[in-house]
A and B are shown apart, each in its own frame.
Chain A
Amino acid sequence: MSAGDLGGFSLFDLFRAEAETHGRSLNDGLLALEANPDDVVAIEPLMRAAHSLKGAARIIGLDLAVKLAHAMEDVLVAAQKGRERLASPRIDQLLRGTDLLAKLAAISEAELTQWNAAHQAEVDVLAAALAAAPPAAAFASAAAVPVAEAFTPAIAPPSLLQPAAAPASTVPAAAASVEAKTVRVSADSVDRIMRLAGEMTVESRRFTGLRDRMLALKERLLDLGETIERLEGEVGSHPRVREAGARVRDAFRDAAHHLAASDELSQRVEETSTSLYHATLGSRMRPFGDITHGFPRLVRDLAKELGKQVKLDLVGASVPVDRDILARLEAPLNHMVRNAIDHGIEMPNDRIAASKAPMARIAIEARHQAGHLIVRVSDDGRGIDPERIRAKVVSRSLAAPEMAERMSIAELLEFLFLPGFSTASTVTEISGRGVGLDVVQSTAQEIGGKAAIESRLGKGTAFRLELPLTLSVVRAAVVEIAGEPYAFPLVRLERVVRMPYAELTTVEGRQQFMLDGVSVGTVDASVLLGLGETERDDTASIMVVAHGRGDEAERYGLLVANFEGESDLVVRTLDARLGRVSHVSAAALTETGEPLLIVDVDDLVQSVRQLLSEGRLRGTSSSVASSQRRKRRVLVVDDSLTVREVERQLLTRLGYDVDVAVAGADGLNAVRQGSYSLVVSDVDMPRMNGFEFVAAVRREARFADLPIIIVSYKDREEDRIAGMQAGANAYLTKGAFRDDTFARTVSDLVGGPETND
């Protein structure tokens, strides 16, 4: 076995894999041991883990890791032999060692030397501490060791009176059993297999068309047979005619036989490809425990730091969750747990005073319910005082006092999700600064779910997330816009309305209709997407969407050309080269294998609101003839993406249609092709710079009067002169974006954003 080639892995990769596995079992095992220090049997696997780590580190010559693992192993051996009892401070040391090894496993091979130098001292100190006598348990209040146990003899036999194992300790076991059966596959290749499986399902449906054609062929043979029979009746029995009749009947029987066989085959292929597809979808699932294995440690460390006693219950570690959702869930979960320990849970003495057990409980639960993933984080702490929220709502003028007075507890709790709304009077290190519960809610919403808080004063608080089971399939309304298929995710639709056009009435010339006694104005989705106006037929198909919640919500009716029905779509991300596409969140394939775009409803509604407020969008008007006014087009040429974006957004906000080019040559090409009212160019660009570009444009007679603005970082007078000599109408420095200089110059040169010609 050569060190260079181990199926693409280096020796350091192998050490890393080992450190990851053993590090996790050390971490989990030490925590379990802390809760249950006399479980001598539990020490052995830890000892072996430390020993294996030492061995792995020795093979690749990681002396620091060898030293540390060796010191840890010695302590564990002593504990197993009964020479030492692992109290909380000792476990702290061992956990620190585990952390160091985990950090080492996280670096790249190239950083190794640097790491060694940086951590030499730390390892030396820790190894010495581990080799020394166990530190005294100075702060028993925070330790999870019950007071009575402090008096048990140091050498404890495996006790029959052991308390039931903490639930936390059962989790790693469950996770380990799941892991034993998994292999690592790159997410890309799983996605690719899924796309192919999806394509297979589409292809297998084509059998149906083939079958229909074969069925028609069979009918024709039957027809031919009957014709021959009639012929026989007319010309009398002739041996040649009889023979032809027999042969046609044979052919008909064969055709029927083959048809039945192909029917069976096509059905089998369709079933198999559907199962393949679902199995591939299923392979995206990972156990919930994948993201929770760090929490027992987190809870322990935080509780200790704050002098609180907390026990963590993890339920549903094996519940399968879509890996994309899982990845998004870790941060909000972390936030909720930190929040619970910091703000929710009381100090032990306060708990005793409130006649609660000093040991508080936090539970993280995951389960499937009615096609959703439910994640619940609850504590039995002090709960949230609704009156404090009410007072805060009033003091921050979020609602009028009389309105706040009437709010229910549930309504008041909703305020906790507002960005920056916190009832905690001090910001602590634990819950972080400035990051509020709004992160929890926005994450839930981004992945198509919702978040809710329940709380009872003095009893505890619970956060409940209701999330879709997978992000890879979305149930959506498939519609036609400008002749092409689009889909609106059903979770973002309030209603789909189909009504005769004639029943739409107008307010200020803008179309509206009544929905449950509420007037809903309509907007043409095709216009919003920049695809021109929707052609009208007799029936209007309207997607009703809402901005905001409850009775306060604004409703908009998005007019589409045709509502084709509901469908489960497998979501595909758009090609990364497209970047962010406004109003579109993803793509999918229709049942016939045609591309379809999934509408980003929130983004679309935002645009509607913005366009309305700028007076740039009227609802769909009653007359089909629209205004002849046209937007002026501006070309922005700049090699910096940031500057390009700033200019593009600024000009778009001013109401212009903006195109961009990334270099002088590119810009020249664009100028020649498009009809622009204005060109905005940078100076410093590779190959053809801004001055050369402007000069080149000016050399063409038809662009002699085209307004050109140069925007540059260069503010020396000679640069300005060079720019004007090249033919620019204005020379601005990039500071012009900070005030209205840029906007004024644009408007001076070309007039307003709209033109009547």
Chain B
Amino acid sequence: MSADRISSISQGGHVSLGEDAATTSERLRSLLARPIPPEELDENTRSVAAPAGRRQRFARPILVVQLGPELLGLDVGLARRVVRVAKTHRIPHRTHDAFGGIANVGGELVLVARLDRLLGLDHAGDESARRMVVLGDERRPWVVVVDRVEGVRRFDAEQFLTAPATVARALDGMTEALAPLDDNAFVSILDSSRLARGLERCLS
């Protein structure tokens, strides 16, 4: 992944362009973990204390992950957990190309879907950065492998752009909207219910 994309996530300008990816993501992590500055706290307090009509809308928390060349956004209500990649065992006679098999995730055998194939993307990058993301509710979970987890980021839904018609109108399109970042980059926010349907289709 290119460093400028990561820096654009930070948006606040704390991270300069051109650093190598590892350092940048380290910085990004420390940025997310930093204590809230007093002025920001004051601003938030004012916002919460303001009458409902004037209050700014709460931003939507999105788990940003990278898969191949694209940044994808998963609603944190759907993406429950990020874990290390566990070995996947194929299921005989189940030949849907987006169905991976089962994997042991924290002692439970969970169904594995190939998000790369559902979206027509190819895995890329360092294998050690890959993670499994547990999706769906506790009783019917799925896991998918992503190339890198960037972290949870809040987006203001009012800034969202509509997905291109070739995706929005496509039968298998899953993108709900595009969340713009700096310099023309964006995160494709995946529609939870369309993604869930796509996952269920793996079982057919």
Contact = CB atoms under 8 A, between A and B. Distances in A.
A195 B105 CA distance: 11
A593 B105 CA distance: 10
Contacts of A596: 89
Nearest to A662: B204
Interface string B89-101: 1111111110001
B102 to A, nearest CB: 5
A595 B203 contact: no
B35 interface: no
B182 to A, nearest CB: 35
Nearest to B142: A577
A660 interface: yes
B107 A666 contact: no
A669 B172 contact: yes
Contacts of B108: 195
Interface string A489-532: 00000000000000000000000000000000000000001110
Given A577-B111, A578-B203, A594 B93 contact: no
Interface in B75-130: 87-97, 101-104, 106-111
Interface residues of B, number: 27
Nearest to B200: A577
A198 B107 contact: yes
Interface in B155-204: 171-172, 201, 203-204
Interface in B30-89: 87-89
Nearest to A596: B89
A584 interface: yes
Given A587-B102, A669-B171, A575 B111 contact: yes
A666 B109 contact: no
A581 B92 contact: yes
A680 to B, nearest CB: 15
A460 interface: no
Interface string A652-691: 0000000111100110110001000000000000000000
B89 A584 contact: no
Interface string A164-202: 000000000000000000000000000000011011000
Where chain B touches its partner, the secondary structure class is loop
A582 B93 contact: yes
Contacts of A575: 102, 109-111
B53 to A, nearest CB: 39
A58 interface: no
Given A595-B87, A595-B102, A669-B171, A581 B93 contact: yes
B122 to A, nearest CB: 16
A589 interface: yes
A597 interface: yes
A428 B203 CA distance: 47
Quick one: which of A195, A581, A582, A595 has the most chain B CB within 10 A? A595
Where chain A touches its partner, the secondary structure class is mixed
A575 B102 CA distance: 9
A531 B90 contact: yes
A199 B89 CA distance: 17
Quick one: which of A575, A659, A669 has the most chain B CB within 10 A? A575
Interface in A628-674: 659-662, 665-666, 668-669, 673
Contacts of A595: 87-89, 101-104, 109
Contacts of B95: 530, 659
A535 interface: no
A320 interface: no
A236 to B, nearest CB: 47
Contact of B204 (A198, A572, A584, A666): A666
Nearest to A660: B204
Contacts of B103: 595
Contacts of A669: 171-172, 201
Interface string A558-602: 000000000000001011011101111001010001111100000
Given A575-B102, A577-B111, A595-B104, A666 B201 contact: yes
A583 B92 contact: yes
Quick one: which of B103, B104, B108 has the most chain A CB within 10 A? B104
A661 B204 contact: yes
A660 B171 CA distance: 17
B92 A584 contact: yes
A223 interface: no
A528 to B, nearest CB: 8
Given A575-B102, A577-B203, A578-B203, A583 B107 contact: no
A63 interface: no
Contacts of B97: 673
B167 to A, nearest CB: 14
Contact of B92 (A531, A579, A660, A661): A531
A485 interface: yes
B109 A587 contact: yes
B93 A578 contact: no
Contacts of A579: 203
A597 B93 contact: no
Contacts of A577: 111, 140, 203
Given A574-B109, A581-B93, A583-B93, 15 more contacts: A199-B106, A199-B107, A575-B111, A578-B111, A581-B94, A582-B93, A583-B92, A587-B102, A589-B104, A594-B89, A595-B89, A597-B92, A659-B96, A661-B204, A665-B171
7 contacts: A482-B90, A531-B90, A574-B109, A579-B203, A582-B93, A597-B89, A662-B204
What 8 A-B pairs are tightest by C-beta distance, nearest first? A199-B107, A529-B92, A595-B89, A195-B107, A594-B87, A530-B93, A595-B102, A582-B93
Interface of A: 195-196, 198-199, 482, 484-485, 529-531, 572, 574-575, 577-579, 581-584, 587, 589, 593-597, 659-662, 665-666, 668-669, 673
Interface of B: 87-97, 101-104, 106-111, 140, 171-172, 201, 203-204
